[in-house]
Amino acid sequence: MRQRIAVAGGGPAGLTFARVMHRHGHPVTVLERDPGPDARPPGGTLDLHERMGQLALDKAGLLAEFQALSRPEGEAMRILDTDGTVLRDWQPRPGARAHPEIDRGQLRDLLLGALDVQWGRGVTEVEPGTPEGVLVRFADGRRETFDLVVGADGAWSRVRTAVSSATPHYTGVTLVETSLDDVDTRHPGLARLIGDGSMAVYGVNRGLVAQRNSGGHVKVYAQFRAPLDWHTNPDRHLGLNRHADLNAGPDADLDPGLDAGLDLADVEAVRSSLLALFDGWADPVLDLLRHGAAFVHRPLHVLPAPHTWTHVPGVTLLGDAAHLMPPLGVGANLAMLEGAELAESLAAASGHGDLDEAVRAFEEQMWPRAGRWAEMTMAGLERLVSPDPAEALALFDEVQPS
Ligand SMILES: Cc1cc2nc3c(=O)[nH]c(=O)nc-3n(C[C@H](O)[C@H](O)[C@H](O)COP(=O)(O)OP(=O)(O)OC[C@H]3O[C@@H](n4cnc5c(N)ncnc54)[C@H](O)[C@@H]3O)c2cc1C
């Protein structure tokens, strides 16, 4: 293949695409905005499904290495009531490999392998249809042209504007993430509470989820329904009211613990706000917040679903750039599967086929599947963070293996 192909973004989508292309002998220029692989914390743990993320790794020739690194025991899932009672405790069957967990950093390093990533190359704009090809402009002022530019640059994609005017919108649900280190020795009680995998507690319009990563590291996600500006605006935080009930009016029982002007960088102020929000929940559960280190604010945004566009020769999208959806265990899996599928289609087209036809066929396959997942995960989010906590439990009963 003599075409000049670039992928913007070195996340699960972009790296899987580049790795599968590399396996088929086709070089790809990987353009990543971060200055280096360890420029920021890699994030939490991902469960890779057999027919999605794991299939993609198989196509990249990396399945055996993944199996050596991943944690099948991490499939364990426990649900507690707000008073600490264990409501459900699913344990993986011996030998189960349906969706083992892997740390994002481990997955990134596995995919990186010998790939030659161009770090510190933030794309600002992509202009298809110039006489030299698809023009890419970079944050440092440089420009380069390619025959195909694949946008795998995540939620706030810069490549996306070349094919679509869609932008992400806020779901009404926010996550605040914190983490604990060395949990088995420093917090053995919490380690037992969390178990080998994940633990979740759901209340009215809010939940607390703890996920074990490798090496005794635990990520904790406080999730709640609130306006995007919940930390700045005192009048609009009904969703945060710890006593909120379904029939309460907008001014009912506002929570004094959540004042205006909360500084999200102030660890202790965020901690007290969250403790006020989850006030009344069992002490061991609240210890997840009491012992958490820094807090990271992650309001959840999504793209409209299904998100499709009129095909533009020379540009396409993968992963979150194409179909940002709520984080219900699918986004990275789809991103990787798409990366592998696009690479295989291009490799198959090389030599005899039409590169653009291969991209067009890939898009036709991606859109309906991603649209279905986006709708399912949006409906799932509505049930997980809902006025009726029984909905969250019912959702897990539907999706967990019996
Ligand atoms: C809290 C949380 C938990 C999740 N858990 C799971 C899970 O268990 N399972 C699952 O399948 N999914 C999960 N997801 C979703 C998953 O993280 C995403 O769907 C997945 O990371 C998408 O991969 P991507 O490669 O498309 O985008 P990203 O992972 O966002 O990668 C995009 C890359 O592009 C780079 N980039 C951005 N802008 C530019 C630019 N202008 N130029 C060049 N490079 C750029 C970024 O630095 C980044 O490296 C979770 C998400 C969240 C928030």
Q: Tens digit of pLDDT for each residue in 269-316?
A: 999 999 999 999 999 999 999 999 999 999 999 999 999 999 999 999
The residue contributing the CA closest to ligand 1 atom 30 is 154
pLDDT the model gives residue 260: 52
Higher pLDDT, residue 136 or 353: 136
The residue contributing the CA closest to ligand 1 atom 2 is 327
pLDDT at 181 over 90: yes
pLDDT the model gives residue 402: 67
Closest to 319 (Cα-Cα) out of 297, 295, 303:
303
Q: How far apart are CA 106 and CA 33, in angstroms?
A: 20
Decide: 338 and 19 in contact? Cβ < 8 Å: no
Most informative mutation of 7, 101, 153 for ligand 1 (most atoms within 8 A of CB): 153
Q: Report the DSSP beta bridge partners of residue 206.
A: 203, 224
The atom number, within ligand 1, closest to the CA of 159 reads 41
Q: How far apart are CA 263 and CA 321, in angstroms?
A: 30
Q: How far apart are CA 382 and CA 173, in angstroms?
A: 9
pLDDT the model gives residue 170: 98
Q: Tens digit of pLDDT for each residue in 248-260?
A: 333 333 344 444 5
Question: pTM score, two decimals?
Answer: 0.94
Most informative mutation of 20, 320, 373 for ligand 1 (most atoms within 8 A of CB): 320
* pLDDT-wise least confident of 113-117, 152-156, 161-165: 113-117
Binding pocket residue ranges, ligand 1, CB within 6 Å: 8-14, 31-34, 44, 46-47, 122-123, 152-154, 158, 175, 298, 319-321, 327, 329-333, 335
pLDDT at 183 over 90: yes
pLDDT average, residue stretch 18-27: 96
pLDDT average, residue stretch 111-117: 94
pLDDT average, residue stretch 113-131: 96
Give the strand order in the sheet containing 86-90. Answer: 86-90, 77-80, 198-203, 206-212, 218-225, 169-180, 296-302
The atom number, within ligand 1, closest to the CA of 53 reads 11
The residue contributing the CA closest to ligand 1 atom 35 is 9
Centre of ligand 1 to C-alpha 104, Å, is: 10
What is the SS3 assignment for 217-231?
Answer: CEEEEEEEECCCCCC
**Phi (first) and psi of residue 29, to 5 degrees:** -85, 120
In the chain, % of residues over pLDDT 90 = 86
Question: Which of the four pLDDT bands, split at 50, 70 and 90, describes residue 401?
Answer: confident
pLDDT at 235 over 80: no
pLDDT at 234 over 90: no
The residue contributing the CA closest to ligand 1 atom 52 is 327
pLDDT at 114 over 70: yes
Q: How far apart are CA 87 and CA 100, in angstroms?
A: 23
Centre of ligand 1 to C-alpha 113, Å, is: 19
Q: Tens digit of pLDDT for each residue in 325-345?
A: 999 999 999 999 999 999 999
Angle at 162 between CA 159 and CA 165, to 5 degrees: 100
pLDDT at 62 over 50: yes
Identify the burial level of 109 via C-beta atoms within 10 angstroms of its C-beta, where 0-12 means exposed, 13-18 middle and 19 or more buried. middle
Q: Which helix (H) or strand (E) holds 301?
A: strand 296-302
Question: Which of the four pLDDT bands, split at 50, 70 and 90, describes residue 247?
Answer: very low
Centre of ligand 1 to C-alpha 153, Å, is: 8
> Encoding tokens for residue 116?
């030659």
pLDDT the model gives residue 97: 85
Most informative mutation of 17, 46, 334 for ligand 1 (most atoms within 8 A of CB): 46
The atom number, within ligand 1, closest to the CA of 101 reads 8
Q: What does pLDDT average to over the chain?
A: 92
Q: How far apart are CA 91 and CA 195, in angstroms?
A: 10
pLDDT at 23 over 90: yes
Higher pLDDT, residue 402 or 284: 284
> Encoding tokens for residue 26?
């086709």
Q: How far apart are CA 276 and CA 165, in angstroms?
A: 40
Q: Which letter does DSSP use for residue 4 in this model?
A: -
Tell me which residue has tokens 């990186």. 112
